[in-house]
Amino acid sequence: MHWFESQLAQLDTLADDYLAARRQPAADIVNVSEATRLKRAAFIDAVQSVVDKVVKIEGVSACAAYHDGLILAQSAEASNMDADAFGAIIQETIRAAQHGETSLGLGEIEQIVIVGAVNKLAMLSVGPIILCISSPKGVNLASVLSQAK
Amino acid sequence: MSSNVQFLDPRKSQNNEIDSILRNLMNIQGVSAAAIVDSDGFVTHIHRDFEINTDAIGASVQVVFGAAAKAAQHVGHHLTNMVICENNDGYILSTPIDAGFILALVTQREALLGRVRFELKETIPVLKKLFTSYLAN
């Protein structure tokens, strides 16, 4: 498993832990509330950490995480990008892909890549969020992400 | 003979947890106040990092939320789950909890709206249960 795969696997585990904590019976609501809050914080902190690491990889121009088309985590370097426009495109793209999920029998959408004449954008579904990575068109994203440490 | 059993006050532990939830919301980047407002517009719990007129914010949140909820009903959208006021210098997000209580967050402009909204959406079901239990005790 290469670096980026291991990061995604870790995020998936944390997301699963959080979702499991949320499903606990609410007999002891105070303890359930605290446990859920801590698991959610662990997941979100890990997402922010991955975003911060990915954006430092040579060839990657921006990285951010979105929830329902609204920005959830972004790197300090990417603060000048139009996060709202990015989010809107992501939301539209995910919605279009979800039509294929049922009509083409694709299963749950895991990744979407849009390649433009200038740049490309990869969207990866991780638990309740979408992780977005952008790079110039010529960059082999899979390769740079797998070689990162 | 004295008993070794200690009776814990459930309301106290629930109240502490509500405070912890507000403190947690305050830890999100850009959030400057987190308050719970009752149905009369009075602030029952608040955490903030700047001077704020609690009476004014409580009353305003109830008025804005009430107006938005009425607008939603007029267009057939039924229940209002969240009202987001986008202002020049930040956002005010308000979400209903239970029995007319509203959770309101005040943020600076640099707050990540998706982060704040995600946290609110995930927090509300727990707060609802805490309030149901709190009001029942």
- For B55-92, the DSSP string reads HHHHHHHHHHHHHHHHHHHHTT--S---EEEEETTEEE
- Average pLDDT score over residue span A1-23: 91
- CATH of B31-136, picked from 3.30.450.30, 3.30.200.20, 3.30.43.10, 3.40.50.720, is 3.30.450.30
Contacts of B133 in chain A (CB under 8 A): 29
From the list A36, A73, A87, the residue facing B126 with the nearest CB is A36
Domain ranges within chain B, ordered by starting residue: 31-136
**Cβ–Cβ gap A71/B114 under 8 Å:** yes
pTM of the model: 0.84
What pLDDT, in 10s, does the model give residues A91-140? 889 888 888 777 888 888 899 999 999 999 999 999 999 999 999 999 99
**Residue B82: is its pLDDT beyond 90?**
yes
**Residue B2: is its pLDDT beyond 60?**
no
Query: pLDDT over 70 for what percent of chain B?
Result: 93
Contacts of B130 in chain A (CB under 8 A): 29-30, 33
Q: Nearest CA of chain B to the CA of A33: how many Å?
A: 6
Q: Are A94 and A130 in contact (CB under 8 A)?
A: yes
Q: Which two tokens stand for residue B128?
A: 């609802």
- B115 near A CB under 8 A: yes
Here the CATH number for the domain that contains residue A7 is: 3.30.450.30
Give how many domains chain A has, as a whole number.
1
**Residue A81: is its pLDDT beyond 70?**
no
Q: Give the pLDDT of residue B7.
A: 45
Instruction: Return d(Cα A147, Cα B49) in angstroms, integer.
Output: 43
Write a three-state SS string for chain A: CCHHHHHHHHHHHHHHHHHHHHCCCHHHHHHHHHHHHHHHHHHHHHHHHHHHHHCCCCCCCEEEEEECCEEEEECHHHCCCCHHHHHHHHHHHHHHHHHHHHHCCCCCCCEEEEECCCEEEEEEEECCEEEEEEEECCCCHHHHHHHCC
| Range of weakest confidence among A14-23, A26-35, A110-119, B46-55 | A26-35
**Cβ–Cβ gap A33/B113 under 8 Å:** no
ipTM confidence: 0.79
> CA distances (Å), A47 to each of A52, B71, B132, in order?
9, 36, 32
What pLDDT, in 10s, does the model give residues B26-62? 999 999 999 999 999 999 999 999 888 999 999 999 9
Name, in order, each residue with C-beta under 8 angstroms of A47's C-beta and a sequence gap of 6 or more: A11, A65, A72, A73, A126, A129, A131
- A36 near B CB under 8 A: yes
**Cβ–Cβ gap A71/B13 under 8 Å:** no
Q: Given the structure tokens 């638990």, which residue do they identify? A: A127
Q: Give the pLDDT of residue A78.
A: 60
Task: Find the domain containing A117 and state its range.
Answer: 3-147
User: Which residues is B59 bridged to in the sheet?
Assistant: none
**Cβ–Cβ gap B122/A22 under 8 Å:** yes
Q: Nearest CA of chain B to the CA of A13: how many Å?
A: 18
Instruction: Return d(Cα A119, Cα B114) in angstroms, integer.
Output: 24
Interface of B with A in 32-51 (CB under 8 A): none
- B137 near A CB under 8 A: no
Q: Which two tokens stand for residue B105?
A: 């967050």
Q: Are A113 and A120 in contact (CB under 8 A)?
A: yes
- A20 near B CB under 8 A: no
Q: Give the pLDDT of residue A80.
A: 58
Q: Which residue of A has its CA nearest to B116?
A: A72
Q: Give the pLDDT of residue A52.
A: 94
Helix (H) or strand (E) holding B52: none
